A and B are shown apart, each in its own frame.
Chain A
């Protein structure tokens, strides 16, 4: 019994972390990525689940979703709604070019011991006690283990001709710098995507690509690609459809004070069309 309860506790601890850290895949899927004119709306489903893009687990919270317009200004989501299994929202694409829609999270999580009791830092609000922050760690705390967590979950949507302003790197965490524009993907033409860590090409980064529609096939269909020294992964597309792309990396170069480890995650969904 004791072992069982310990395991339960460990599972609960994992659930408290962002979806990136758990087995469930966090995803956003747009109805389309390519639009004609500046009178269009894109509508997006957002959730976390194992199978892509099948909403059967948890909706994504919309409070962190931001919109970056092609001209560098900040846009907004509209008609946001959170259901039992998935959230939906719309974005009016009233400017030509490529839009970025998604979340950026930067947090510190971990644990410490005080008075012989283990306490956790970070995690989601709600539940029993409110989450503690780094500032709450008492001076006599021991076993302080802190991890900086940086995550992105982004969509790129284009009205009329594509643009590249939204790909300007910030230099923090894993970032996406396409060589092939992500809204111009077709079957039969491999795409080159560059990944950056701290603004520099991330060589040797594992990039996982999973096609949607898992419910209608037997295999998960995930394929792993590795970036070259220039940070570029070359990805081919066997069939048209929506693809979920994920890269994650753990290192010991946190920028947050007292953190000893850094965990970075990047997610996007791209659409592949027939030529």
Chain B
């Protein structure tokens, strides 16, 4: 039962942290590709960090249909971001300040690395799930202080990069 209890509280790190070491600065760029399909809906996207040695995931961004309410609110399909859901989404409260936002149009979107991120090795994960479309989960090993790194998706995601500033 230990495993079950362990996987909670991914967002607690945010509050109460002091001193932002300038060295942690860095920018994640996530590209949502333009897709020529008959029925296009902007994808749900989650971006998160997992400590390379294991431990709680820290969600950096969740883009979903924040405005859709009613019987089937936008949050209903958050679990389609299956990897993120399993790593922390399931216990996240949405909307979350500074993390969640509306779905993004195709293009490149910048997400700053949190200033309070402790130096070390992480796995940056980006997952996209699109209505009537596919799902893709891209991972990129990174180190903090940030060094340039890049990966790319094949279908639902384009380039995923980290730059030092």
Contacts and interface: CB of A to CB of B under 8 A. Distances in A.
Interface string B1-33: 111110110000000000000000000000000
B79 A39 contact: no
B75 A274 contact: no
Contacts of B5: 164
Interface string A173-197: 0000111110010100000000000
Interface range on chain B (Cβ under 8 Å from partner): 20 to 34
A137 interface: no
A36 B85 contact: yes
Interface range on chain A (Cβ under 8 Å from partner): 20 to 34
Nearest to A177: B1
Contacts of B77: 36
Contact of B76 (A37, A184, A186): A37
A150 to B, nearest CB: 24
Nearest to A191: B3
B90 A160 contact: yes
A39 B4 contact: no
A36 B82 contact: no
A76 to B, nearest CB: 20
B79 A36 contact: yes
A15 interface: no
A273 interface: yes
A273 B90 CA distance: 15
A162 interface: yes
Contacts of A164: 1, 4-5
A273 B5 CA distance: 21
Interface string A4-44: 00000000000000000000000000000011110110000
A180 B3 CA distance: 7
A179 B1 contact: yes
A137 B41 CA distance: 68
Contacts of B86: 184, 186, 273
The 3 A-B pairs with the shortest beta carbon distances in the complex, nearest first, are A36-B79, A161-B91, A36-B78
Interface of B: 1-5, 7-8, 71-73, 75-79, 82-83, 85-86, 89-91, 137
28 contacts: A34-B79, A35-B79, A36-B77, A36-B89, A37-B75, A37-B76, A39-B72, A39-B76, A40-B76, A160-B90, A161-B90, A161-B91, A162-B4, A162-B90, A163-B4, A164-B5, A177-B1, A178-B4, A179-B1, A179-B3, A180-B3, A181-B3, A181-B4, A184-B86, A273-B86, A274-B137, A275-B83, A275-B137
